[in-house]
């Protein structure tokens, strides 16, 4: 079985700070990590590899330093890795990104036929959840988003049964290989890296593909030129004009009084809330 | 937008979009053949006999955009033989639509990516809207990404505000985990597509006097054309049906509660108020509460009437998911916690100490009222 897992190297958004004066992102000291959602895709791919044998090829588009993210994935047990990196990709939005990744997957597919492509459900920096569906459409492969469980893979029959998260329940879907799966978070737990894989991750060569290596001919489809969306403005969220009306709990202040006071204020600020709550609780 | 638009983002912020685009050699002019694209469309999401409220929230937004542009609002309904599409269309008019496109086919019974992508793409190519809006749900995001790629146009996900700038859609969304907002435009392609999360926009007012007309179109697919089969739909057990997005009151646990056991205090208050329990990312990551309860950029967007945040610092990633709440109450030991900058009422104190007292106060107050009603 040959599985391609697409990942992205992202800044750890929990540690991002915005400069209070210039409203720009302060990237210094913010660690770059493998997009956490992608790890659920990787673990699921590794489980299939454990079961069926074969290989897991990691694929990433990004700057040269994204190689670190790929090596991290090899340490968890992925077979090998390809970094698609080229200045011509700069400024790509999701449409241009899916174009470049699709070209690379076609190339990988030509080397050795691919059965499944995995992505995370979204990234933590862009949060768009658009690249996975984009790749599937471009490849013309079956798209399965927000997959919570892989029920069955029948390699001989070329079929696949999964559970997909929907609003208010899950859909059980059956489709054919090759397919693209975007994996839901919390569906599995990433394994620990073994010593062998960690050593392998340190020395295995990560293949670096330029746009030409990836077989991209139409440069109007990549980078800024291939991106229909334009970022017209970046700004910090507005502060509310008024700070909260504060009460303090401390020495000599009765917590009871503070809470009763708060209760009165809440019901005064929102006049219908009290009646509605009473009605809801009585029902 | 823009998973990888970071390099351009800083430049855009500094120089303004037009200049950046100009320098890159990228065209920002709308080609002549796309100028005929007119109208604002809303994909009306429905499943198992229910229209998702996000579709009506979007209808309200679409109405405002269309009025600025001087064009019509259209609802788009795809479904199978047993779906009550005409009934949904009547609801769409009440919420602001002028027309509805209906595509009915047995293969459209229950959502599947393949036939829905073809159906919506065909409708867009034939009737040419300038703006297409979808809910940022598991269905809407699956479909929007597929349709945008098929059409080769721009799509902006999870918008928090939609506006018109010139004649183009200006779609604002949080970026970098909510630390900043950015406005995205699709200038040289049509339609301009955007998704919005449930509860980001308010429900529009109903106008029962409104009506509209229906335009139908055939899908032209048969079941044997479609590879993926829907074997079953397994509804979530009602016991763990967490309807955070549409809760009237939410009590949220933050890291300040120190441990999983103290989350019980939040549950106690929630029970007294008939509220849902929410959580910050730190709390769900620590496993104190289920991931479905997370409020914020990577969780749910909520707009309850009352939001009580206990031990929540108010990081921007959390704020973007709850700041539309009518009344925000914060309890935190740190008087300088960012949450007090956007809460309405604040208590500087230990949530573990305050919560039980607040719960008792609400219980006694509401019990009296309930007895009066009874």
Q: For residues A229 and B183, what is the distance between their CA atoms, to the nearest angstrom?
A: 10
**Residues of chain B found within 8 Å of residue A91, distances taken between Cβ atoms:** 4-5, 7-8, 24
Q: How far is the CA of B216 from the CAs of A142, A146, B55, B83, in angstroms?
A: 28, 31, 20, 15
Task: Report the residue from B12, B17, B177 with minimal CB separation from A13.
Answer: B177
pLDDT band at B6 (very low <50, low <70, confident <90, very high): very low
**Residues of chain A found within 8 Å of residue B374, distances taken between Cβ atoms:** 282
Q: Does B200 touch chain A (CB under 8 A)?
A: no
Find the mean pLDDT for residues A200-213.
Answer: 97
| pTM exceeding the 0.95 threshold for the entire prediction | no
Pick from B98, B94, B63: nearest CA to B213:
B98
Q: Note which residues in 201-240 of chain B have CB less than 8 A from chain A.
A: 227-236
Q: For residues B349 and B254, what is the distance between their CA atoms, to the nearest angstrom?
A: 14
Report the mean per-residue pLDDT for chain A. 93
Find the mean pLDDT for residues A113-136.
Answer: 94
Structure tokens at B194: 């955007």
Return the CATH superfamily for domain B21-225. Answer: HUPs (3.40.50.620)
Find the mean pLDDT for residues A264-268.
Answer: 91
Q: Does B190 touch chain A (CB under 8 A)?
A: no
- Does the bond joining B191 to the residue before it have cis omega, within 30 degrees of 0? yes
Least confident of A72-86, A134-148, B239-253, B273-287: B239-253
Q: Does B21 touch chain A (CB under 8 A)?
A: yes
Tell me the per-residue pLDDT of B88-137, one tens digit each, with 9 for 90 and over.
999 999 999 999 999 999 999 999 999 999 999 999 999 999 999 999 99
Please check whether the two domains, B21-225 and B239-373, share a CATH topology. yes
Residue A265: phi and psi, rounded to 5, are -65, -40
Structure tokens at B184: 């995205």
Q: At residue B353, does pLDDT exceed 90?
A: yes
Partner residues linked to B346 by β-bridges: A246, B330
- pLDDT value for A59: 98
Task: Report the residue from A130, A136, A167 with minimal CB separation from B52.
Answer: A167
Find the mean pLDDT for residues A119-133.
Answer: 92
* Nearest Cα residue in chain B from A177: B227
**Residues of chain A found within 8 Å of residue B150, distances taken between Cβ atoms:** 137
* Pairwise CB contact (< 8 Å): A167 & B230: no
3-state secondary structure at position A91: coil
Task: Report the residue from A126, A133, A258 with minimal CB separation from B2.
Answer: A126
Q: Would you list the DSSP string of B216-276?
A: E------GGG---EEEEEEEPPGGG----TT-SEEEEE-GGG-STTTHHHHHHHHHHHTPE
Q: How far is the CA of B30 from the CAs of A223, B34, B191, B297, in angstroms?
A: 19, 7, 11, 33
* Sequence-distant (≥ 6) Cβ neighbours of residue B172 within 8 angstroms: B159, B160, B161, B162, B163, B181, B182, B183, B184
- pLDDT value for B4: 43
**Residues of chain B found within 8 Å of residue A24, distances taken between Cβ atoms:** 10, 13
Task: Report the residue from A25, A94, A233 with minimal CB separation from B2.
Answer: A94
- E-strand ranges in chain A read 2-7, 9-11, 17-18, 25-26, 32-34, 55-61, 80-84, 116-120, 142-154, 159-166, 169-176, 179-183, 207-209, 229-235, 245-248
Least confident of A200-214, B3-17, B220-234: B3-17
Pick from B129, B109, B106, B101: nearest CA to B37:
B129
Tell me the per-residue pLDDT of B201-217, one tens digit each, with 9 for 90 and over.
999 999 999 999 999 99
Domains of chain A and CATH, by start: 2-221 (3.40.50.620), 239-283 (no CATH)
pLDDT band at A79 (very low <50, low <70, confident <90, very high): very high
Residue A84: phi and psi, rounded to 5, are -90, 110
| Longest Cα separation, chain A | 76
Find the mean pLDDT for residues B24-44.
Answer: 90
* Nearest Cα residue in chain A from B185: A230
- pLDDT value for B297: 85
- pLDDT value for A15: 72
Q: At residue A172, does pLDDT exceed 70?
A: yes
- pLDDT value for A28: 75
Q: What percent of chain B has pLDDT over 70?
A: 91
pLDDT band at B12 (very low <50, low <70, confident <90, very high): very low
* Pairwise CB contact (< 8 Å): B298 & A124: yes
- pLDDT value for B240: 56
* Domain B239-373 fold: Rossmann fold (3.40.50)
Q: At residue B17, does pLDDT exceed 70?
A: no
Report the mean per-residue pLDDT for chain B. 91
Tell me the per-residue pLDDT of B160-202, one tens digit each, with 9 for 90 and over.
999 999 999 999 998 876 778 899 999 999 999 999 999 999 9
* Pairwise CB contact (< 8 Å): A93 & B361: no
Q: Does A244 touch chain B (CB under 8 A)?
A: yes
Partner residues linked to B132 by β-bridges: B41, B193
pLDDT band at B11 (very low <50, low <70, confident <90, very high): very low
3-state secondary structure at position B41: strand
Domain definitions of chain B by residue range: 21-225, 239-373
- pLDDT value for A125: 84
Q: What is the DSSP-derived secondary structure letter of residue A65? A: G
């Amino acid at each position: 079985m040959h599985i391609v897992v697409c990942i992205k190297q992202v800044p750890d958004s929990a540690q991002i700070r915005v400069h209070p004066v210039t409203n720009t992102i302060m990237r210094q000291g913010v660690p770059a990590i493998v997009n956490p959602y992608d790890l659920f895709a990787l673990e699921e791919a590794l489980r299939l590899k454990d079961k069926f044998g074969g290989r897991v090829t990691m694929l990433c588009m990004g700057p040269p330093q994204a190689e670190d993210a790929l090596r991290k994935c090899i340490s968890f047990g992925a077979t090998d890795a390809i970094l698609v990196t080229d200045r011509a990709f700069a400024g790509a939005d999701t449409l241009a990104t899916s174009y470049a990744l699709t070209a690379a997957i076609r190339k990988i597919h030509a080397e050795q036929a691919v059965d499944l492509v995995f992505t995370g459900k979204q990234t933590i920096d862009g949060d768009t959840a658009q690249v996975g569906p984009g790749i599937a459409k471009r490849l013309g492969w079956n798209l399965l988003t927000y997959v919570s469980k892989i029920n069955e893979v029948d390699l001989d029959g070329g079929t696949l049964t999964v559970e997909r998260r929907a609003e208010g329940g899950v859909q059980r879907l059956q489709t054919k290989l090759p397919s693209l799966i975007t994996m839901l978070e919390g569906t599995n737990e990433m394994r620990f890296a073994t010593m062998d894989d960690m050593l392998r991750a340190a020395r295995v060569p990560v293949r670096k593909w330029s746009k030409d290596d990836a077989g991209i001919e139409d440069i109007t489809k990549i980078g800024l030129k291939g991106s229909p969306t334009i970022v017209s403005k970046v700004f910090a969220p507005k502060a509310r004009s008024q700070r909260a009306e504060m009460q303090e709990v401390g020495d000599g202040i009765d917590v009871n009084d503070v809470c009763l006071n708060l209760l009165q204020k809440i019901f005064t600020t929102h006049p219908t809330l009290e009646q509605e709550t009473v009605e809801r609780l009585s029902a | 937008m823009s998973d990888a638009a970071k390099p351009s983002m800083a430049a855009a912020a500094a120089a303004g979009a037009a200049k950046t685009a100009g320098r890159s050699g990228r065209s920002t002019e709308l080609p002549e053949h796309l100028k005929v694209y007119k109208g604002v469309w809303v994909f009306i999401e429905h499943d198992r006999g229910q229209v998702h409220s996000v579709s009506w929230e979007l209808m309200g937004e679409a109405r405002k955009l269309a009025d600025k542009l001087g064009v019509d609002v259209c609802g788009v309904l795809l479904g199978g033989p047993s779906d009550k599409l005409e009934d949904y269309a009547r609801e769409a008019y009440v919420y602001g639509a002028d027309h509805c496109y209906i595509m009915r086919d047995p293969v459209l019974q229950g959502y599947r990516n393949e036939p829905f992508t073809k159906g919506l793409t065909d409708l867009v190519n034939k009737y040419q809207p300038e703006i297409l809006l979808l809910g940022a749900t598991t269905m809407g995001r699956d479909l929007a990404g597929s349709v945008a790629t098929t059409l080769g146009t721009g799509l902006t996900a999870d918008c928090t505000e939609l506006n018109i700038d010139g004649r183009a859609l200006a779609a604002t969304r949080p970026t970098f985990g909510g630390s900043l907002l950015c406005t995205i435009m699709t200038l040289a392609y049509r339609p301009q597509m955007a998704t919005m999360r449930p509860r980001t926009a308010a429900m529009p007012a109903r106008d029962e006097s409104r009506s509209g007309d229906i335009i139908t179109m055939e899908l032209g697919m048969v079941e044997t054309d479609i590879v993926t089969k829907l074997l079953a739909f397994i509804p979530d057990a009602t016991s763990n049906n967490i309807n955070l997005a549409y809760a009237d009151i939410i009590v949220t646990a933050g890291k300040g509660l120190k441990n999983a056991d103290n989350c019980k205090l939040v549950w106690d208050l929630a029970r007294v108020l008939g509220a849902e329990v929410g959580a910050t990312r730190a709390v769900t990551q620590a496993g104190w509460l289920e991931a479905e309860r997370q409020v914020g950029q990577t969780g749910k967007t909520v707009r309850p009437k009352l939001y009580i945040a206990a031990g929540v610092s108010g990081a921007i990633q959390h704020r973007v998911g709850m700041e539309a709440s009518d009344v925000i109450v914060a309890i935190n030991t740190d008087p300088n916690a960012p949450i007090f900058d956007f809460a309405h009422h604040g208590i500087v104190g230990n949530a573990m100490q305050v919560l039980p007292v607040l719960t008792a106060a609400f219980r006694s107050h509401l019990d009296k009222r309930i007895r009066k009603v009874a």
